[in-house]
Amino acid sequence: MKQFLTFTILLLLSTSISIAQMKVSDKAQLVYNNHSDQFFVLDDSTHYWTQKPGTKLWVKHAYVYAGDIPFIEMMDMTRVLAMNKRTYYFVNASCGNVYELKQDTLKRIDHSFPHRNQYGAPMFAWNNSVFMFGGYGYFQVKNVFSRYVPQAKEWFEVITKSKESPSPRSGPIFLMEKNKFYLIGGVNRSHLDDVYLRDCWMYDCQNKSWERIGEMNELLYKDFAMSSINSNLPGGVVRRNNRLFELNIRENKWTSYENPLVLNMWKITASKNNEYLLYAQSNSNNNKEYLVKVQNFNALKEFKVGEFPIYQKISVLKLFPEEDFLWISLILNFLLFTMLFYIRRMHKLKFLQRAQKKLRRADFTTSEWDLMCLIHRYGEMDLSALNEYFNEEGLSYETLKKRRESFVKSIRIKIAMITRIPMEEILVETKNNSDKRMKIIHWNDDIELEFESEKN
């Protein structure tokens, strides 16, 4: 009986119920535990609070802080994650130290150190492990993918099976949907200037692979300054100025609501299906004191601004880095030039391949046709016999010879183009057996002439 009374007294001392709004400091840790379907708030080293969404009742839980550094320092450097129904991790925001709240004791459980290498990195829990991607540290934005393994009490780099992965970034929008982690936009830095990213990625925790799913909607991209998102934790509702943005990754949809009352909302975390919001509301008289509230999200949807897709298919041109555009342009121009050259070449070949079985009168001049008929009739003849077609009074022998050669060459070219017979086989010239100085021109028996009488 004594033991039962003692247990009852301890239980009453350790837990109590309050419906009053809680005042917390700017170091307060807020999160929604989807395993137990309850909100969690921790602000001091003696107790924490939980509330089932919709009950309006806060339950107070006593615990002991057994950390290795002062409590305020631990709170300042960590972010809280719900690992299961009764276990919470407080993870260093830059990657490193891990503190565990379990069985009413908060203590350090890792063998690591403050990495100071992944500030602004998305942080999420899956399969009893903590994951962090990217972030900023040591004057550089990273795309390192880290995982805390409780069995080893250390951090390890995540080795993925995919060929490509997101580029370096910090402060992105990110969401969890079962075993899939969605990464949307973020900020990189180039030559001391912030570069806002639009690409969207999905990491499959089971298959250990990245997939580029598209690019952020233009309106969402313009509406958000990614550097203003100071939460490392995933959430279906985020605030930007006087607007609340509800993100539904399953339906690829984001909805914007305007309400002036949300201007002083901070550390927003949403329950299942974004039905309730837990947030800290700043006090204009005291910037170090906040009121913790749980409110039905529908009550804050004062004015619906619009509804749009979160991401869309990415343009093919945007798949390549800007510095590659010059090379791509040169390659495309080269391919275009090669294609045009090929088309022109094929056109020329087709033209040359339009062979005729017989030579027609209409394809030649009168002099050319008469000369071909003469050679065709006799089969062969002395080349000098052609001089009468070019001889003029006062014309030198050399000039006469050049004219004759040019005339015969032009006939050869025309016949070759029409019949596809090689030029060296057309009007072949040989030396006269009786006088080696004289040349004889021969008709090719494969070439036929089409006379007008044949048509009739």
CATH number of the domain to which 372 belongs:
1.10.10.10
Token representation of residue 397: 């022998």
Kindly state whether residues 440 and 362 are assigned to the same domain.
Answer: yes
Range of the domain at 345: 320-353
State the chain's maximal CA–CA distance in angstroms: 149
Kindly state whether residues 362 and 440 are assigned to the same domain.
Answer: yes
What residues does 91 pair with on adjacent strands?
79, 98
User: How many of the other CB atoms lie within 10 Å of CB of 104?
Assistant: 13
222 CA to centre of own chain: 18
> 198 to each of 164, 177, 201, 205, 455, how far by Cα in Å?
16, 20, 10, 22, 75
Could you say which DSSP state residue 339 is in?
H
Kindly state whether residues 337 and 405 are assigned to the same domain.
Answer: no
Kindly state whether residues 426 and 451 are assigned to the same domain.
Answer: yes
Tens of pLDDT, residues 227-249: 445 566 677 898 888 889 999 99
Amino acid symbol at 439: K
Answer yes or no: is 440 within a domain: yes
Kindly state whether residues 409 and 339 are assigned to the same domain.
Answer: no
Determine the Cα–Cα distance for residues 372 and 361; give it in Å rounded to an integer. Answer: 10
Answer yes or no: is 51 within a domain: no
The low-confidence residues of the chain, meaning pLDDT below 70, are: 1-20, 190-191, 225-233, 284, 286, 315-325, 347-355, 390-392, 394, 452-456
Looking at residue 453, its pLDDT comes to: 53
- The residue whose two tokens read 């490509």 is 164
**What distance, in Å, lies between the first and last C-alpha atoms of the chain?**
134
Looking at residue 209, its pLDDT comes to: 96
Radius of gyration of the chain (CA): 43
Determine the Cα–Cα distance for residues 247 and 307; give it in Å rounded to an integer. Answer: 10
Residues contacting residue 282 through CB under 8 Å, at least 6 positions apart: 264, 266, 290
Determine the Cα–Cα distance for residues 252 and 263; give it in Å rounded to an integer. Answer: 26
Answer yes or no: is 314 within a domain: no
User: How many of the other CB atoms lie within 10 Å of CB of 137?
Assistant: 18
Answer yes or no: is 259 within a domain: no
Looking at residue 404, its pLDDT comes to: 82
Answer yes or no: is 63 within a domain: no
Secondary-structure breakdown of the chain: helix, strand, coil percentages, each rounded to the nearest 5: 30, 40, 30
Kindly state whether residues 393 and 380 are assigned to the same domain.
Answer: yes
Answer yes or no: is 347 within a domain: yes
Amino acid symbol at 360: R
Answer yes or no: is 201 within a domain: no
Determine the Cα–Cα distance for residues 85 and 271; give it in Å rounded to an integer. Answer: 14
Answer yes or no: is 308 within a domain: no
Q: Provide the domain count of the chain.
A: 2
Q: Which of 422, 421, 410, 427 is nearest to 357 (CA)?
A: 421
Tens of pLDDT, residues 343-383: 877 766 655 555 677 888 888 888 888 888 888 888 888 88
Kindly state whether residues 382 and 446 are assigned to the same domain.
Answer: yes
Determine the Cα–Cα distance for residues 430 and 442; give it in Å rounded to an integer. Answer: 8
